[in-house]
Chains A and B, each alone.
Chain A
Amino acid sequence: DAGITQSPRHKVTETGTPVTLRCHQTENHRYMYWYRQDPGHGLRLIHYSYGVKDTDKGEVSDGYSVSRSKTEDFLLTLESATSSQTSVYFCAMGHPEGGELFFGEGSRLTVL
């Protein structure tokens, strides 16, 4: 059991289309994160959540929104996808202050 899963794993969409990525965890972690990974930039934080309905922005949050209605689910939404949002998106869980972060397998998004 991976403990944290992402869906979909791969998606191709067109510019201007809304896209939602889902992150699901079974470990009851309070903190969850969305990162994007791009060549030359490494991993950058998009948004994070510190509890149900409690979210905050990261360093690259423009064009993204998130929601967390249940502890186990953290959704990332691109309201109107752009080509610059083509990336690999990673979800993570765990509180970095106290311990390790655990990552999902990633969702590869291509915006044409």
Chain B
Amino acid sequence: KQEVTQIPAALSVPEGENLVLNCSFTDSAIYNLQWFRQDPGKGLTSLLLIQSSQREQTSGRLNASLDKSSGRSTLYIAASQPGDSATYLCAAYSNSGYALNFGKGTSLLVTP
């Protein structure tokens, strides 16, 4: 079974900082990896999807990278804003499974 781990579990940064969220997975035979954002009491919003053949994806201030050989993905947030405060989840789909396997998330607080 694919195991997904996210470090750190919580992070607090001042506004304007660039930051990196980490995700590791145990099965390198993945089809894709997806990053989500979850606001309190809300559902999950897809941020970025990286296919196994890709190394990174970018959307605005967000950049996600994928290194299958090391079993790692990172989400880079540039020039953080208080509105970025949320829980960020990564999830991997491997060809040994049938659904996305999720990490437990990183809770991000950006202070003004």
Contact = CB atoms under 8 A, between A and B. Distances in A.
A105 B43 contact: yes
A42 B32 contact: no
A102 interface: yes
A101 B49 CA distance: 9
Contacts of A42: 89, 102-105
B99 A45 contact: yes
A60 B77 CA distance: 33
Nearest to B104: A42
A-side interface size class: 20 to 34
Contacts of A106: 41-43
Given A33-B99, A96-B31, A101-B100, A90 B43 contact: yes
B88 interface: no
Contacts of B31: 96-97
Nearest to A6: B43
Interface of B: 1, 31-32, 34, 36, 41-46, 49, 89, 91, 93, 95, 98-100, 102-105
Interface of A: 33, 35, 40-45, 48, 56, 58-59, 90, 92, 96-97, 99-106
